[in-house]
A and B are shown apart, each in its own frame.
Chain A
Amino acid sequence: MLMTIKENMAIQQERDLVYCRNRVKEIAAKIGMGVVNQTKLITATSEIARNMLRYAGGGNVKVEVITRGKLEGLQLVFEDSGPGIPDINKAMQDGFTTGNTLGLGLPGAKRLVNEFAIESVVGKGTTVKILKWKNG
């Protein structure tokens, strides 16, 4: 069954995170993603969306159902126009933080999904793209 779901969500405040998590969970359940993969995807979503809120003051999340051959999954694109990340390699290291947190957000989120891409331009903003296959 082919489904075209495309959605845009704004993350401006704490409660938008809750809505975003719930919506991603609903869509993931709709395409038949298992509970463990759902949980991994929502956790990754929560990490990245919270980063966006904390460091960039908010941004946008695009959710899309993706099919590639026999694979079906969810792709999420997080876009912000915040200060950007000067050293992405450093930001992707476990335990690195500029915000007095655990420093697990980005590297942890990467481990929880199947595909992870991050682009950032200092002064322009950051884009994080993640993809989770429903049986991945």
Chain B
Amino acid sequence: MVYDTGASGVLIDISALSIVDSFMGRIIGNIAGMSSIMDAETVVVGMQPAVAITLIELGLPLAGVHTALNVERGMALLESRMSARPDDTFDADDD
């Protein structure tokens, strides 16, 4: 999907999940890793407080995954990261 749409951001809403175990954490990490190789950043949004507490105790790192409180903030985070990217077009330097 990242390739087909040329997406530069992936937003995963997990607000409906009442638990995240290491299996699910690994899947989220894999998605983020693959997206990153395809030049897209991943944001996980909507994590319930109890899930966050549990993840820390479980010891799940979720490396390379950005998080935001909700969808709106997640989109804002993605947008700010997109605009902070260096310009994609190659500028020839004449000097």
Binding site for B on A (CB under 8 A): 21, 25, 35-36, 38-40, 42-43, 46-47, 50, 94, 101-102, 104-105, 107-109, 111-112
Binding site for A on B (CB under 8 A): 18-23, 25-26, 48-51, 53-54, 57-60
CB atoms of B22 and A47 under 8 A apart: yes
CB atoms of B21 and A40 under 8 A apart: no
The verdict on A50 contacting B23 (CB below 8 Å), with A107-B59, A111-B57, A111-B58 known, is: yes
Among residues of B, the one whose C-beta sits closest to the C-beta of A34 is B50
Query: Which residues from A are CB-within-8-Å of B58?
Result: 43, 47, 104, 108-109, 111-112
Main secondary structure of the interface of A (DSSP, over half): helix
Among residues of A, the one whose C-beta sits closest to the C-beta of B61 is A102
CB atoms of A39 and B59 under 8 A apart: no
Partner of A42, one of B19, B49, B53: B19
Query: Which residues from B are CB-within-8-Å of A94?
Result: 59
CB atoms of A104 and B59 under 8 A apart: yes
Query: Which residues from A are CB-within-8-Å of B19?
Result: 21, 39, 42-43, 46
